[in-house]
Amino acid sequence: MSKEENTANRPDNTAFTQQRLPAWQPMLSAGIVIPGFVIIGVAFIGIGVALFVTSQNIQVLEKDYTGIERNSSCFKCTNPRVKNCNCTINFSLDKLFEGPVFVYYGLSNYFQNYRKYGVSKDAVQLTGDLAYFTEPSTTCAPYQRDAKDKPIVPCGSIANSMFNDTFKLFQIVNSGNVEVPFDGKGIAWWTDYNIKYRNPTTNPLKNAFNDTVKPIFWPRPAYELDPTNSANNGFINQDFLVWMRRSALPNFRKLYRRITEGEYAKGLPAGDYALVIGYNYPVLAFEGRKKVVFSNVSWMGGKNQFLGIAYLVIGSLCVVMSIVMLIVYAKFKFPDEE
Amino acid sequence: MDNISGEFALVISGHSLAHALEADMEAELLMTACACKAVICCRVTPMQKALVVELIKKHKKAVTLAIGDGANDVSMIKSAHIGVGISGQEGIQAVLASDYSFAQFRFLQRLLLVHGRWSYLRMCRFLCYFFYKNFAFTMVHFWFGFFCGFSAQTVYDQYFITLYNILYTSLPVLAMGIFDQDVPDRRSLEYPKLYEPGQLNLLFNKREFFICISQGIYTSLVLFFVPYAVLSNASQDTAEPLADYQTFAVTTATALVIVVSVQIALDTGYWTIINHVFVWGSLGLFFSIMLAMHSQTLFSSSPNQFHFVGSAQSTLLQPVVWLTIALATVICIVPVLAFRFLKLDLKPQLSDTVRYTQLVRQKKRKAVCFSGGAGVRGAAGSTSEGRLGARGGSRRSGYAFAHQEGFGELITSGKNMRLSSLALASFASRHSSSWIDTLRKKKHSHTPTPPGAASGDSSPAPSCVSGSAAPPLSNSPSVLGGSQDAAIEEEEARTPPPSPLQAKPGSSTSHARPPSTTLLAASESTQGPSTGGGPGDTAPSAQGESGGWTLSLGAVQEALSNWRSLGVRSSSPGPPSL
């Protein structure tokens, strides 16, 4: 009887409660660490070499066209009172710029990652919900309603500040200027185009925008963003989508067009070119800069020197560390007991 | 820890301790006690036990532990830093008041050397990792602030921020905090020196904290600037730039979770199945929750909340992103690995050495057993030492119970008994003659009682006792004198219920009256302070009866009188009726 009472009060004698669970106890032994470092080092050096070589083969051409210097061709456009200004940048290519060539516009000192700027949009309105056309969300303030208290569609600061410079590229040949065709389809994310931004289902699209006004800085309302292509209007306009995908850093570039058609599908041949820019977007007020970038891509994307060099550096450091550790281990050998 | 040279022990009784704990004496007591290897306080009241503990707590930078089993140990247990109660013979009072309790005194060794040590180790590792992972997580926003106009834009998705500490990184560190062991319990008992880092506060102090924080800051630097440098100019293979906010967020978040998971994998030294499940499960949970939140289904339910739709799928399919994550992980982890390996080689701690030998032994045992064909569980854990449960029958420890005399004297005085004088004599001789003295003194305060003389007009009892007890007293000094040495046998942990001494003759080990001399001293000292002016009176009375050992008693008397002059208790509430 007393024995049963005794056993009733005993603690559990299981492996879990008595901390006897079977376990693996790793130890940082030299046999694991030093070869591990060597393997990592060698692998990184290999990857680094591949990345560096790939990156070296990518061609990039950048042209700043802000027009700060007096002698630049776009200086005349920096005057804010000049409307519909066009300026031309001339450049020449020594050798074939291999295709497909991608055209980007780049901005500097432009903080799309500013927090208040980033929340200034109405995600529900942009999915085509007509209820939010008449009542845009208050997060869009001060671009929620205009001075006459009419709702702005699309509301918010991001939409309002949409980039509106235009570019045309001409190759200068003997017979004159040949326009290089640009392709603007599918430059935005698939999920943006198909899921995140939807047009209201009203047909014609223009009727959905009754009793609303366009954003203050826009030249044309949303349903007229692309006069040449009726499918590229409203919220699913590719340029609009590219702009709405805001950037993480103050110096960024966004995809504008790609050159994939006709005889330029294989790339831009060597020669002279003229880039005609419709200069609409003012950046000098905040000391920003604008540039246009031509680039081609590889499996790892665009030109990225940092990745290749970083891998090479880290790989060699690992190998050096493993040699050091080997020397230390050989000198102060961990004593083998028994 | 002080270096104690010499082999001294201090034995002090409750009455003396009452003096020693006074404000002007306690520093002396502390110094003396700390210079000894052991201190035995006997016949102390519960309050005095607590006062001794508090004395040590107040003046020494040490952690105190008190262990006891009776209701009179409760105040001591409560006042120590760690209170341990022994459940068993004395009831469960001490258990209810204690922080830890077990059934046998010898379990204290396991409590300290195994569980206490593991607990300290786990707590330190847990804290270090917790600070590290939160600094790595938060400081990224600090660096990002320089690039976003200090607008408090978060680098990560808001749901990631919410779930990071709850789901993605809490379980692995919890498992480490519960299960981690650096050496198995058998080795902990074998090498008590492993206990030292806990006493010296080696595993988590300002220096270690600073190292954790700097590692967190370094990790945050890497986690921000590597994606920054790579993604600012990178693009997908479809030429869309990768520098958009949501791609950057997903890349940084993935790199962060992977880096801190690798770090916890390095920190965990004891991988049970639960650790495996938690670590790899948390990583899997991160990816599945992120993919679920960036899916179209949730977006369609609430576009404003789940506006990261499509980011995870788009980002994690890019080789550049994985190369970035791998680069960030290696830059964060490789220095830690190298540093730990070098530290293990150049400055191994005792626990590392023990662990290493343990693993070597295990491997050898495994090799032998595999070759032998028998399957021995080479588990790192050992079977628990010490059988739980009673060993059949209770075994009382050899401790004496000491307490101040109660009214037992009155009973044993034989006042109410009609025994022959011989019987009474033998009866009385078994007990302290000092009781008789005490009674006599109490009854007759200022009158020196002649041996055998009936001072007992006021009370017949002592006179009877004194009268009859006088002859045997002179016969029994050997018994009484020899028992002087036995006072040392008393343990401080044991106090009896306040019953008269003669009720427990069996509990004392060998001598008939171990506490006799101390009782004598106690009785004397009780007399001393409480009676304002009767020391001299008591002395001759003691001298009259005690015969052979009058001298020692007199010396004690004088010492006590000296103390009494210093004592605060000169003002007595009135002499007890003597």
Per-residue tokens: A116: 């208040």
Beta bridge partners of A64: A291
Chain B interface test: which of A2, A17, A19, A323 (most B C-beta within 10 Å) = A19
- A337–chain B nearest CA distance, Å: 6
- The size of the A-B interface in CB pairs under 8 A is 243
A188: CB partners within 8 A, 6+ apart: A238, A241, A242, A245, B240
Alpha carbon distance B49, B492 (integer Å) = 9
Nearest to B412 by CA among B464, B478, B490, B471: B464
- A184–chain B nearest CA distance, Å: 12
CB B453 within 8 Å of CB B525: no
CB of A160 less than 8 A from some CB of B:
no
Per-residue tokens: B293: 């939140």
DSSP state of B384: P
- Residue B428 CA from chain centroid, whole number: 45
Percent of chain B predicted with pLDDT > 90: 41
Sole residue written with tokens 């001075």: A147
CB B262 within 8 Å of CB B329: yes
Per-residue tokens: B253: 């978040």
Q: What is the pLDDT of residue B413?
A: 56
> pLDDT at residue A79 above 90?
no
Nearest to A48 by CA among A321, A335, A317: A317
Question: Between vectors from CA B254 to CA B249 and to CA B255, what angle results, nearest 5°?
Answer: 100
CB B403 within 8 Å of CB B495: yes
Q: What is the pLDDT of residue B438?
A: 55
CB A191 within 8 Å of CB A118: no
Q: Is B101 exposed, middle or buried (CB count within 10 Å of its CB: 0-12, 13-18, 19+)?
A: buried
> pLDDT at residue B548 above 50?
no
> Which chain A positions have a beta carbon within 8 Å of B303's beta carbon?
123-124, 126-127, 196
CA distances from A301 to A95, A246, B321 (A): 21, 19, 11
Of B273, B327, B361, the CB nearest to A314: B327
Alpha carbon distance B441, B578 (integer Å) = 6
Alpha carbon distance B391, A2 (integer Å) = 12
DSSP state of B193: G
Going by DSSP bridges, is the β-strand pair A176-180/A166-173 parallel, antiparallel, or unpaired? antiparallel
CB contact (8 A) between residue A245 and residue B246: yes
Q: What is the pLDDT of residue B43?
A: 85
> pLDDT at residue B361 above 90?
no
Tell me the pLDDT tens digit for each residue of A157-216: 999 999 999 999 999 998 888 999 999 888 999 999 999 999 999 888 888 898 899 999
Tell me the pLDDT tens digit for each residue of A91-122: 999 999 987 999 999 999 999 999 999 999 99
Q: Which helix (H) or strand (E) holds B387?
A: none
> pLDDT at residue A241 above 50?
yes
> pLDDT at residue B466 above 90?
no
> pLDDT band at B437, cuts 50/70/90?
low
Alpha carbon distance B159, A161 (integer Å) = 28
Tell me the pLDDT tens digit for each residue of B315-345: 999 999 999 999 999 999 999 999 999 988 8
Q: What is the pLDDT of residue B400?
A: 56
> pLDDT band at B417, cuts 50/70/90?
very low
Q: What is the pLDDT of residue B433?
A: 53
CB contact (8 A) between residue B310 and residue A191: yes
Q: What is the pLDDT of residue B487?
A: 37
CB B1 within 8 Å of CB B32: no
CB A200 within 8 Å of CB A128: yes
Per-residue tokens: B224: 């921000």
- A28–chain B nearest CA distance, Å: 6
Mean pLDDT of A39-65: 94
A43-52 per-residue burial string, b: 16 or more CB within 10 A, e: under 16: ebbebbeebb
Q: What is the pLDDT of residue B445?
A: 54
- Residue A318 CA from chain centroid, whole number: 32
What number is the ipTM of this complex? 0.93
> pLDDT at residue B378 above 60?
no
- Residue B258 CA from chain centroid, whole number: 38
CB of B578 less than 8 A from some CB of A:
no
User: When comparing pLDDT for B385 and B31, which is higher?
Assistant: B31
User: How many residues are recorded in chain B?
Assistant: 578
Question: HSE (CB half, 13 Å, CA atoms) of B536?
Answer: 1
CB atoms within 10 A of CB B397: 11
Q: What is the pLDDT of residue B346?
A: 86
CB B73 within 8 Å of CB B87: no
DSSP state of B574: S
CB of A83 less than 8 A from some CB of B:
no
Tell me the pLDDT tens digit for each residue of B158-209: 999 999 999 999 999 999 999 999 899 888 999 999 999 988 889 999 999 9
Mean pLDDT of B497-506: 38
Q: What is the pLDDT of residue B21?
A: 87
B110: CB partners within 8 A, 6+ apart: B185, B189, B385, B386
Per-residue tokens: A303: 């030109």
CB of A17 less than 8 A from some CB of B:
no
Q: Which helix (H) or strand (E) holds B83?
A: strand B82-86
CB of A15 less than 8 A from some CB of B:
yes
> Which chain A positions have a beta carbon within 8 Å of B314's beta carbon?
189-191
Helix/strand/coil (H, E, C) string of chain A?
CHHHHHHHCCCCCCCCCCCCCCCECCCCCHHHHHHHHHHHHHHHHHHHHHHHHHHHCCCEEEEECCCCCCCCCCHHHHCCCCCCEEEEEEEEECCCEECCEEEEEEEECCCCCCHHHHCCCCCCHHHCCCHHHHCCCHHHCCCCECCCCCEECCCCHHHHCCCCCEEEEEEEECCEEEEECCECCCCCCHHHHHHHCCCCCCCCHHHHCCCCECCCCCCCCHHHCCCCCHHHCHHHCHHHHHHHCCECCCCEEEEEEEECCHHHCCEECCEEEEEEEEECCCCHHHCCEEEEEEECCECCECCCHHHHHHHHHHHHHHHHHHHHHHHHHHHCCCCCCC
Question: HSE (CB half, 13 Å, CA atoms) of B238?
Answer: 11
- A208–chain B nearest CA distance, Å: 20
Q: What is the pLDDT of residue B6?
A: 77
A290: CB partners within 8 A, 6+ apart: A64, A65, A66, A105, A106, A107, A108, A165, A281, A283
> pLDDT at residue B524 above 80?
no
Percent of chain B predicted with pLDDT > 70: 63
> pLDDT band at B55, cuts 50/70/90?
very high
User: When comparing pLDDT for B61 and B79, which is higher?
Assistant: B79
Mean pLDDT of A46-56: 95
CB A103 within 8 Å of CB A182: yes
The answer to pTM > 0.95 is: no
> pLDDT at residue B468 above 60?
no
CB contact (8 A) between residue A23 and residue B270: yes
B486-508 per-residue burial string, b: 16 or more CB within 10 A, e: under 16: bbebbebbbbbeeebbbeeeeeb
Before A100, cis peptide (omega within 30)? yes
Per-residue tokens: B79: 């006042």
Tell me the pLDDT tens digit for each residue of B229-246: 999 888 888 888 888 999
Q: What is the pLDDT of residue B479?
A: 36
Phi/psi of residue B575, each to 5°?
-60, 140
Interface of A with B in 287-306 (CB under 8 A): 295, 297-304, 306
CB B238 within 8 Å of CB A260: no
> pLDDT at residue B482 above 60?
no
DSSP state of B244: B
Beta bridge partners of A291: A64, A106
Q: Is B138 exposed, middle or buried (CB count within 10 Å of its CB: 0-12, 13-18, 19+)?
A: middle
Q: What is the pLDDT of residue B557?
A: 55
Name the amino acid, one letter, at A294: F
CB atoms within 10 A of CB B130: 17
Percent of chain A predicted with pLDDT > 70: 96
Chain A interface test: which of B240, B266, B336 (most A C-beta within 10 Å) = B240
Per-residue tokens: B424: 């009474």
What average pLDDT is seen over chain A?
89
CB of A39 less than 8 A from some CB of B:
no
CB of A252 less than 8 A from some CB of B:
yes
Q: What is the pLDDT of residue B476?
A: 36
CA distances from B22 to A297, B36, B563, B564 (A): 88, 20, 12, 12
> pLDDT at residue B289 above 60?
yes
CB B268 within 8 Å of CB A27: no
Look at the alpha carbons of A125, A130, A131, A135 in this order and tell me if their dihedral is positive or negative: positive
